[in-house]
Amino acid sequence: MQGTANKLTEGLNEAQAEAVVTLKGPMLVLAGAGTGKTRVVTFRIANLIRHGTNPDRILAVTFTNKAAGEMKERIGELIGGKQRRKPKRGEKPPPAPTVSTFHSHCVRILRQHAPALGYPAKFSIYDRGDQESLARSILRELRLPNAALSPNDMLFIISGWKNASIKPEQAVYEAATDKEHFAASAYRRYQQGLMLRGAMDFDDLLLQTENLFELRSDIRDEEADKFDHVLVDEYQDTNGSQYRITKHLTQKHRNFCVVGDDDQSIYAWRGADVTHILNFSKDWPDAKIVCLENNYRSTGEILAMANRLIGYNTTRHDKTLIASRPKGKRPRIQQHKDEIAEAQSVVRDIKMHIEGNHVQPKDIAILFRTNEQPRLFETELRKANVPYVMLGAQSFFDRREVRDLVSYLKWIEQPNDEVALRRIINTPPRGLGNKTIEILLGRAVKRGVPLWDIMNDPNETAELTGPAQRGIEDLQQLSKDVLHRSQNESLVAAMETLLSRTSFSTEVASRYDKPEEREARMASIGELTNAMGAFEDSNDNPDLTGFLGEIALSGREMGSEKDKLAKQNAVWLLTMHAAKGLEFPIVFMVGMEDGLLPHSRSVKSGNEDDIAEERRLCYVGITRAQETLTMSLALTRRKWGKPRPTIPSRFLYEIVGKADNPNKYRKKR
Ligand code: ATP
Ligand code: MG
């Protein structure tokens, strides 16, 4: 045990140690990038356990699944061998702290209590694609043309309201523009549509948990009583719901530790509110406040750039950030002829690092701002045969075949999930063409019941054609059989039934002419089965509900294939948003152009607050780099097929100290 004790304060400076040995009461660690905030959270959990806190009384909330995974691993290492051993079959695993994201913790709460809100406990979780189909059908019902309100706009506006905890009945009063008025009327139907389908979207996971706590103080207390300690990382990016949920969970025991950095608040567009961290000591007047000043991550030169840049933001908590590492190499800023030359040059450099300098691919990251940027890098990396893994952009689970299969599973699990049912109803064809579906849907709408209820009502299906009736029987039998195998054998076995009974692979293969395309599609199908197998191996009671919940949460961020690739050692392709909290020895920040970073939306709005948020995003990007940082831009970039000249990012001038700094003339706060 002595060794463990040493380890617990050994790797910490004085301020960090102070935070780690404080075992009670509210605490705030507000400090710049790379100062060891996440390390403090991890060590503090280990220390709590060492001082007798039962691990299962501790809840730690992180921002991404990747961060949660890393934290669990780290805690395991710190508290030593006993907890790390994988339990044998049938043996109860030792208690472990709960480390999860806000969303997955809310799923856990809602799976238990959703019926109190009128949702089934097995509610499905809608991803972007599901949301879009629901939005489209609502806009059709409302007879709103795309020009008046597109599904995208509708979801964007509604999500904004949800993140601000604005309910449908209040939204009418919030709406200012025409679009918002239309969205307000769609909002109520959208929520009803979700409920009718037994589904929640991502925003609902937080919002409905908050509702639940408001509605049922007994459930709120029950959930709060499960923990004696709550720790939250990246607290600067909590939104209203997250703020209130944690408040409910901590008010009684008051052992609430939050860490964060106001300079890294990058989710205001999604409802995050930096005042939650800045006002922490108002909410908790007796809070202990710890400041960390030593940056252990980046070399001096990288840090100097980051400090210079963030110094251009006018409203911020001025923090000292001291480099603990040597000066290192000066970061490079490279200009390229066009975006293809940029991608080729970056990939050439990467290849050189890997082959020439023996750098591990996983130690290299390419950071970009928008979803359109990675495609060219993917192409070049593939050509160069460099493995890569992408986070924050198009997900494995967005591929058509994967979405089809997941829809099957969702529908089998939750037959009222109409979006899922409609996706698979005639894929592969089974006599249920558009005309039949329209008839059935019309009846469902008229009677206000789910489509599947109509399909199971012999009175409603009596006059359908023979093939249509056989199609329905086929679906009924399929659902029964798959469910049966999933409950009595295994998920993988259930998947086999699903694949063979739908002739899924043959069907998919027939869609593609090119063999490599076919192969890639087949690989996705295989990969989903692999994900199921992995889920079964790592869970005590693996069932379909759990699996679907997990992929709904991870699909956004990390698919099984990505997980595997990441473990296999691959270059990271990340949005700057997804890179928050992570670190890499070698970082490429690409597309350093006005209109990309800062994003065109902020450039157009010209709003200083928007630009300031983009600047923080750029700061997050720079501070991910440990040793080598390369920023690049293309002098021309194709837009709508035509090359156009670009403007170098204004942040580049600031980084090199060549822009006028308004703060020079401003008094320090
Ligand atoms: P971010 O703001 O980006 O989330 P952070 O403040 O959470 O950063 P960490 O990720 O915890 O910082 O730490 C940054 C790096 O510094 C990590 O590699 C960590 O292991 C290392 N580090 C932190 N504290 C110390 C220390 N006292 N001695 C040596 N290395 C440290
Ligand atoms: Mg961190």
Question: What is 314-344 written as a DSSP string?
Answer: SSS-----EE-S---PPPEEEEEEEHHHHHH
Assess whether pLDDT exceeds 60 at residue 83.
no
Whether 433 and 380 map to the same domain: the answer is no
Whether 489 and 376 map to the same domain: the answer is no
In angstroms, rounded to a whole number, what is the distance separating the alpha carbons of residues 404 and 424?
A: 6
Residue-level pLDDT at 88: 63
Whether 22 and 96 map to the same domain: the answer is yes
Whether 402 and 509 map to the same domain: the answer is yes
Write out pLDDT tens, residues 479-511: 999 999 999 999 999 999 999 999 888 888 777
| Residue % of the chain over a pLDDT of 90 | 59
33: its two tokens? 């990038």
Whether 304 and 368 map to the same domain: the answer is yes
Q: 389 - beta bridge partners?
A: 572
Of 261, 258, 260, 259, nearest in space to 229 by CA: 258
Residue-level pLDDT at 668: 44
User: Quick check: is 114 in a domain?
Assistant: no
Q: pTM of the entire structure?
A: 0.81
Q: pLDDT tier at 573 (50, 70, 90 boundaries)?
A: very high
In angstroms, rounded to a whole number, what is the distance separating the alpha carbons of residues 228 and 632?
A: 48
User: Quick check: is 572 in a domain?
Assistant: yes
Q: pLDDT tier at 319 (50, 70, 90 boundaries)?
A: confident
Residue-level pLDDT at 509: 78
Peptide bond into 428 cis (omega under 30): yes
Residue having the nearest C-alpha atom to atom 24 of ligand 1: 36
Angle, helix 400-413 to helix 491-501, in steps of 10 degrees = 110
User: Quick check: is 465 in a domain?
Assistant: yes
Cβ atoms of residues 208 and 555 within 8 Å: no
User: Is 251 buried (19+), middle (13-18) or exposed (0-12) by CB count in 10 A?
Assistant: exposed
Residue having the nearest C-alpha atom to atom 11 of ligand 1: 36
- Of 7, 28, 29, 38, the one to substitute when testing ligand 1's pocket (max ligand atoms within 8 A of C-beta) is 38
| E strand or H helix at 59 | strand 58-62
Residue-level pLDDT at 354: 95
In angstroms, rounded to a whole number, what is the distance separating the alpha carbons of residues 645 and 622?
A: 25
**Chain CA centroid to CA 613, Å:** 19
Q: Distance from the CA of 130 to the center of ligand 1, in angstroms?
A: 39
Asked if residue 233 has its Cβ within 6 Å of ligand 1, the reply is: no
Q: Which residues define the annotated binding site for ATP?
A: 31-38
- For the CA of 13, the closest atom of ligand 1 is 27
Question: Does the active-site annotation cover 56?
Answer: no
> How do strand 27-30 and strand 388-391 relate by DSSP bridges?
unpaired
Cβ atoms of residues 144 and 182 within 8 Å: yes
Q: Distance from the CA of 62 to the center of ligand 2, in angstroms?
A: 9
CA angle 539, 545, 551 (to 5 degrees): 75
> How do strand 229-232 and strand 256-260 relate by DSSP bridges?
parallel
Q: Is 201 helix (H, G, I), strand (E, B) or coil?
A: strand
Domain extent, residue 600, equals 300-395+565-665
Q: pLDDT tier at 512 (50, 70, 90 boundaries)?
A: confident
User: Quick check: is 61 in a domain?
Assistant: yes
Whether 426 and 542 map to the same domain: the answer is yes
- At 162, the amino acid letter reads K
Write out pLDDT tens, residues 397-407: 667 788 899 99
In angstroms, rounded to a whole number, what is the distance separating the alpha carbons of residues 580 and 582?
A: 6
Write out pLDDT tens, residues 107-119: 999 999 999 999 9
56: its two tokens? 């299962």
Of 656, 650, 584, nearest in space to 620 by CA: 584
Cα 409 to Cα 65, 104, 151, 532, 559: the distances in Å are: 23, 20, 25, 12, 17
Query: Which residues lie below 8 Å from residue 439, measured CB to CB, with a gap of 6+?
Result: 464
Q: Is 412 helix (H, G, I), strand (E, B) or coil?
A: helix
**Chain CA centroid to CA 60, Å:** 17
CATH number at residue 537: 1.10.486.10
Cβ atoms of residues 322 and 34 within 8 Å: no
Question: Does the active-site annotation cover 37?
Answer: yes
Least confident of 360-364, 464-468, 577-581, 660-664: 660-664
Whether 339 and 416 map to the same domain: the answer is no
Whether 451 and 543 map to the same domain: the answer is yes
In angstroms, rounded to a whole number, what is the distance separating the alpha carbons of residues 574 and 592?
A: 15
User: Quick check: is 203 in a domain?
Assistant: no
Cα 520 to Cα 55, 326, 526: the distances in Å are: 43, 46, 10
Residue-level pLDDT at 514: 67
Q: Distance from the CA of 47 to the center of ligand 2, in angstroms?
A: 18
Last residue of a domain, one of 147, 168, 197: 197
Q: pLDDT tier at 427 (50, 70, 90 boundaries)?
A: confident
520: its two tokens? 């890639």
Least confident of 97-106, 354-363, 369-378, 440-449: 369-378
Q: Is 408 helix (H, G, I), strand (E, B) or coil?
A: helix
Q: pLDDT tier at 667 (50, 70, 90 boundaries)?
A: very low
288: its two tokens? 């202990």
Of 202, 64, 659, 571, nearest in space to 368 by CA: 571
* Of 16, 37, 98, 614, catalytic: 37
* Of 201, 203, 204, 234, catalytic: 234
User: Quick check: is 116 in a domain?
Assistant: no
* DSSP 8-state secondary structure symbol assigned to residue 637: E
Whether 6 and 95 map to the same domain: the answer is yes
Query: Which residues lie below 8 Å from residue 76, measured CB to CB, with a gap of 6+?
Result: 83, 84, 96
Asked if residue 324 has its Cβ within 6 Å of ligand 1, the reply is: no
Q: Which ligand is nearest to the CA of 74?
A: 1
Last residue of a domain, one of 265, 292, 319: 292
CATH number at residue 169: 1.10.10.160
Cβ atoms of residues 621 and 578 within 8 Å: no
Question: Does the active-site annotation cover 234?
Answer: yes
Last residue of a domain, one of 533, 554, 575: 554
* Of 209, 250, 264, 299, catalytic: 264
Question: DSSP states of 167-180 as a string?
Answer: -HHHHHHH--SHHH
User: Is 188 buried (19+), middle (13-18) or exposed (0-12) by CB count in 10 A?
Assistant: middle
Whether 605 and 533 map to the same domain: the answer is no
Assess whether pLDDT exceeds 60 at residue 154.
yes
* Of 189, 410, 624, 637, catalytic: 624
CATH number at residue 390: 3.40.50.300
Cβ atoms of residues 345 and 336 within 8 Å: yes
Residue-level pLDDT at 615: 96
270: its two tokens? 């999604």
Cβ atoms of residues 4 and 80 within 8 Å: yes
Assess whether pLDDT exceeds 60 at residue 373.
yes
Assess whether pLDDT exceeds 80 at residue 314.
yes
| E strand or H helix at 289 | strand 288-290
Cα 159 to Cα 24, 94, 194, 195, 307: the distances in Å are: 36, 39, 14, 16, 34
User: Quick check: is 648 in a domain?
Assistant: yes
Question: What are the DSSP E strand ranges found in 492-546?
Answer: none
Q: Distance from the CA of 625 to the center of ligand 2, in angstroms?
A: 13
> How do strand 642-645 and strand 625-639 relate by DSSP bridges?
antiparallel
Question: Does the active-site annotation cover 38?
Answer: yes
Q: Distance from the CA of 369 to the center of ligand 2, in angstroms?
A: 20
Asked if residue 37 has its Cβ within 6 Å of ligand 1, the reply is: yes
Residue-level pLDDT at 507: 82
- For the CA of 39, the closest atom of ligand 1 is 11
Peptide bond into 97 cis (omega under 30): no
- At 241, the amino acid letter reads S
Assess whether pLDDT exceeds 80 at residue 84.
no
Q: Which ligand is nearest to the CA of 9?
A: 1
Whether 425 and 352 map to the same domain: the answer is no
User: Is 434 buried (19+), middle (13-18) or exposed (0-12) by CB count in 10 A?
Assistant: exposed
Residue having the nearest C-alpha atom to atom 8 of ligand 1: 34
User: Quick check: is 650 in a domain?
Assistant: yes
Q: Is 369 helix (H, G, I), strand (E, B) or coil?
A: coil
Assess whether pLDDT exceeds 90 at residue 128.
no
Write out pLDDT tens, residues 34-76: 999 999 999 999 999 999 999 999 999 998 888 888 899 899 8
| The dihedral formed by the CA atoms of 196, 197, 201 and 204, expressed in degrees to the nearest 10 | 30
Q: Which residues define the annotated binding site?
A: 31-38
Number of domains, the chain: 4
Q: Distance from the CA of 581 to the center of ligand 2, in angstroms?
A: 4
Q: Which ligand is nearest to the CA of 295?
A: 1
| E strand or H helix at 446 | helix 434-447
In angstroms, rounded to a whole number, what is the distance separating the alpha carbons of residues 645 and 293?
A: 41
Whether 522 and 580 map to the same domain: the answer is no
